[in-house]
Amino acid sequence: MSRFLKEQYQSLEAYTPGEQPRDMQYIKLNTNESPYPPAPSVVEAMTGEQVELLRLYSDPTAKHLKERLAGLYGVEPENIFVSNGSDEVLNFAFMAFGGNGAAFPDISYGFYEVYADLYGIQAEKILLEADFSIDYRKYCGKNKMVVIANPNAPTGMTIPVSQIEEILKTNPNSLVLIDEAYVDFGGESCLPLIARYDNLLMTRTFSKSRCLAGGRLGYAFANPAIIADLEKIKYSTNPYNINRLTLLLGEKTVDAESYYLEKCAEIQKTRAWTAEQLEGLGFTVLPSSANFLFAKTDKMDGGELYRKLKERGILVRHFTNPRICQFNRITIGTMEQMAVLVGTLKEVLYENV
């Protein structure tokens, strides 16, 4: 730390991203990326000519991308904000709307706490129930920003939209942020509520179901006043927040919707198969609507299992929080990758027997 850092940041604990190893080729099941490439039309859009155009700034209004998203999801471009990954819109939301504090589950996306810290926002962490579900009643009438990932991470579990509606109704003067990063893998979206609740902000990403994690593209839906607030923050920090190539690939991605629906269905099929296999090996597996499974076994400590898999070339995500340290979060890869995982788990769990 240099002596120039503002005092308020000196004790900040930054977010720790999942490992992105460069030392060897792993079966990478640790950061919820898609195992599939983007649609062929997206790959083909990346021409030398497009790279040459990088001498020009990108469109700060992201007009074409917003129009396409509006068409696909049946909203107006004024209901949409686009961002450099959904992390950026989450960052802006905490910056803009966290004035009265923020409430979110104790076990959820780790970045919520980091953003709260970054902006000096009082964070109320509400315990998940013993079965890791969210009791929506604990989020009603909070009078502060409420943030819920639906499906939640790293559990993969969902909360019904009818319960989110109750949270919205009972917090009319606070923003309710629903993070739908994983909604395309079987979750229920609260998009239909956008027209009825002016306190709802939903965030989404191209990183998971749209096979574009490295492109860094996220978006949000809300009523136009909330979107205007986010735009104000964006134009006060980085107007060209999305590079030209990513904007182009994003547009092509929206045009290739059927390819991605097929891949999401494939992931769901592989998820069901993997869950069954893990249960067959004695794992407890939480019911997941996301592109990952959260699972634990009594046969081995969670951290040890993570290390043994890594030694054998498979990366999963382990968290040290005592409440979940027995678990590992396993991204759903291809069927072939999951078959290797299951074979390796058998070896690891039974090698000493």
**Cis check: omega of the bond before 322, within 30 degrees of 0:** no
Q: What's the CA gap between 293 and 280, in Å, rounded?
A: 15
Judged by CB under 6 A, does residue 34 bind ligand PMP? no
Judged by CB under 6 A, does residue 109 bind ligand PMP? yes
203 or 277: CB nearest ligand PMP: 203
Judged by CB under 6 A, does residue 205 bind ligand PMP? yes
Which tokens belong to 136? 């929506």
CB of 321 to ligand PMP, least distance (A): 15
Judged by CB under 6 A, does residue 85 bind ligand PMP? yes
Give backbone dihedrals phi and psi of 145, rounded to 5 degrees, phi first.
-60, 130
- Reduced to 3 states, what is the DSSP secondary structure of residue 30? coil
Which residue lies nearest ligand PMP, judged by its C-beta?
85
Of the candidate spans 65-73, 82-90, 318-326, 331-339, the one that interacts with ligand PMP by CB under 6 A turns out to be: 82-90
Exactly one of 80, 149, 293, 332 binds ligand PMP (CB under 6 A); that residue is 149
Q: What's the CA gap between 189 and 335, in Å, rounded?
A: 27
- Which residue carries 């994690």 as its tokens? 213
Judged by CB under 6 A, does residue 86 bind ligand PMP? yes
153 or 157: CB nearest ligand PMP: 153
**Cis check: omega of the bond before 17, within 30 degrees of 0:** no
CB of 120 to ligand PMP, least distance (A): 22
Give backbone dihedrals phi and psi of 304, rounded to 5 degrees, phi first.
-70, -40
Q: Are strands 27-28 and 314-315 parallel, antiparallel or unpaired?
A: parallel
Give the number of residues in contact with ligand PMP, rule: CB under 6 A: 12
Exactly one of 153, 175, 222, 227 binds ligand PMP (CB under 6 A); that residue is 153
- Which residue carries 């991470």 as its tokens? 153
Which residues make up the interface to ligand PMP (CB under 6 A)? 85-87, 109, 149, 153, 179, 181, 205, 207, 213, 218
